[in-house]
Amino acid sequence: MVAIVVAEDDHDILMVVQRLLTRAGHDVVPTADGAEAWEAIQRQPPDLVVSDISMPRMSGTELCRLIRTTEVTRDIPVLIISGHLIPGDTAAVEHATAVLRKPFLAREFASCVDKVLQTGHVEGQGPAVCP
């Protein structure tokens, strides 16, 4: 079973993402922001992190940077999901494995998660953009 930490401050989106991942057979740890996600990641490093960008206490960008600069977590793939990305703004997602823009369809999300789990993080390459 694949373990996935989800960081999302919108409760409705968090519940939808958690339901989609659970139905796909994954073990999901839902968190309300980047700081709570980081605590969960430190307790038990997951196989994947799915994170929004704009969150209280710690943004998804800060969470991703922290994951990449910590020895134990640096190779964990990170899928950023966001409705606030500006086209061409690579700084916000430079450490991510992949990016999926909100709103997304369930099949797009599932496909992106599968892709990220199969490919993992490739150092030195920009994030893949999912459909």
The answer to whether residue 121 scores a pLDDT higher than 60 is: no
pLDDT bin (cut points 50, 70, 90) of residue 11 is very high
Whether pTM > 0.95 for this model: the answer is no
Mean pLDDT of 3-14: 97
pLDDT bin (cut points 50, 70, 90) of residue 122 is very low
Q: Which residue has the tokens 């969470």?
A: 63
**CATH no. for residue 35?**
3.40.50.2300
pLDDT, tens digit, for every residue of 62-113? 999 999 999 999 999 999 998 877 666 666 678 889 889 889 999 999 999 9
- Distances in Å between the alpha carbon of 81 and those of 1, 56, 71, 101, 117? 22, 16, 24, 6, 15
pLDDT bin (cut points 50, 70, 90) of residue 126 is low
φ and ψ of 92, to 5 deg: -65, -25
C-alpha to C-alpha distance for 118 and 96, rounded to whole angstroms: 15
Residue range of the domain that includes 64: 3-129
Retrieve residue 10's tokens. Answer: 């919108």
- Distances in Å between the alpha carbon of 2 and those of 25, 71, 80, 115? 8, 21, 18, 14
The structural domain count of the chain equals 1
Retrieve residue 119's tokens. Answer: 């490919």
pLDDT, tens digit, for every residue of 21-73? 999 999 999 999 999 999 999 999 999 999 999 999 999 999 999 999 999 99
